[in-house]
Structure 1
Amino acid sequence: MSNNKSMLQKVYAQVDKLPAALKAKAFTVIFGRAVKYFRTSGLRFEWIEPNHSIVVIKNRKYVQNHIGTVHAVAMIMIAESATGALVGLNVPGNAVPVIKRMEVDYRKRASGDMRAEAMLTPEQITMMQTEERGEVDVAVTITDAENKEPIFVRAVWAWTPKRS
């Protein structure tokens, strides 16, 4: 990775020194300061490493739809947050990560709390760390309290150099 680290990468380097139990909590607070809707919706990181993240949301009244389950937009938000954090932790510091495309397929009624788990391959990480611009399809799985997948999401992220 270039010596030019992003603010997110610098923050991660600091929270990575914390005990595992505190690391995800600290990253949640810091990420929530940068991504306001993340904080507003009550999302939190359960796990964060540069190649693997887990974001969860509790099925609380303020994120529910009309049938009492986690709202569709909130389910997409956990997927976007889990995948976007990984991209942000791996692109060069002089690059801007942006969501390029999301494909969503609602498969069944969700039950209870939701969890998004995202992963990057070593090849994807190398590409992000060495190329000035590009795009990456980040694998993400969303499960509910019954450990079923009520929604399928495909998240494609791009990065380009920051404008001067």
Structure 2
Amino acid sequence: MSQDYAFVAETMKQGVPWVGTTGIDFLEVEGDRVLVALPDGEQYRNHVGGPHAAVVFGAGETASGAVVLAAFSRHMDKATPLVARAEITYKKVATGALRAEAVLGRPAAEVVAELASGTRPEFPVHVTITNADGVTTTEMTVIWTLRPNR
């Protein structure tokens, strides 16, 4: 039986107001992978006409958060997901609309087992950001943790 992840987009837009203001569209949501689109908009641009680095980071971090929500939604009563750290590499100047694909870097069951054992797990989410031509403009890794609820 496959799980329905339709709730992820609305939960992200309601729970993280910034997501709703950017116009990010959730194109594909699976338990270990999410693809979002960031529309082109003058309000997002930098001095070279592309999306500002902070906006690019925000799109990638949003995709990573969505995959964390999809993967661990059944465990939110036990833990709160938080970003521990992130690394980003801007490879090419981004212009126009962007897509950010986030992929869970460890099996969710392994992370949940660590949480159940009393350990505060950390796990990577790998994000690739591409332009409308499919060219990779940015790569990032966001390290998430599940902080046990007390």
* Fold-level similarity (TM above 0.5): yes
Say whether the 8 Å CA contact 2:91–2:136 is kept in structure 1: yes
Matched, 1:139 2:122: no
AA matched with 1:62: Q
Q: What is the aligned counterpart of 1:119 among 103, 118, 138? A: 103
Q: Which residue of 1 aligns with 2:39?
A: 58
Distance 1:80 1:161 in 2: 21
Matched, 1:148 2:135: yes
What SS class does the counterpart of residue 130 from structure 1 fall into? helix
**Residue 41 of structure 1, CA deviation:** 1.4
AA matched with 1:75: V
Q: Which residue of 1 aligns with 2:17?
A: 36
Under a length normalisation based on structure 2, what TM-score does the superposition of the two structures give? 0.84
Say whether the 8 Å CA contact 1:142–1:149 is kept in structure 2: yes
After TM superposition, the structure 1 = structure 2 runs for residues 152-163 of structure 1, keeping only pairs within 5 Å, are 152-163=139-150
Unaligned ranges ≥5, structure 2? none
Could you tell me the percent identity over the aligned residues? Answer: 30
Matched, 1:109 2:93: yes
Under a length normalisation based on structure 1, what TM-score does the superposition of the two structures give? 0.77
Q: What is the aligned counterpart of 2:53 among 58, 63, 72? A: 72
Distance 2:25 2:48 in 1: 23
Spell out structure 1 runs of 4+ moving beyond 6 A. none
**Residue 43 of structure 1, CA deviation:** 1.0
Say whether the 8 Å CA contact 1:124–1:136 is kept in structure 2: no
Q: Which residue of 2 aligns with 1:20?
A: none
**Residue 67 of structure 1, CA deviation:** 2.1
Q: Which residue of 1 aligns with 2:66?
A: 85
Higher strand share: 2
Say whether the 8 Å CA contact 1:111–1:146 is kept in structure 2: no
Distance 1:130 1:42 in 2: 35
Distance 1:41 1:114 in 2: 12
Distance 1:160 1:30 in 2: 19
**Residue 82 of structure 1, CA deviation:** 1.1
**Aligned residue pairs: how many?**
141
What SS class does the counterpart of residue 108 from structure 2 fall into? helix
Distance 2:82 2:40 in 1: 27
Distance 1:89 1:30 in 2: 10
Q: Which residue of 2 aligns with 1:130?
A: 113
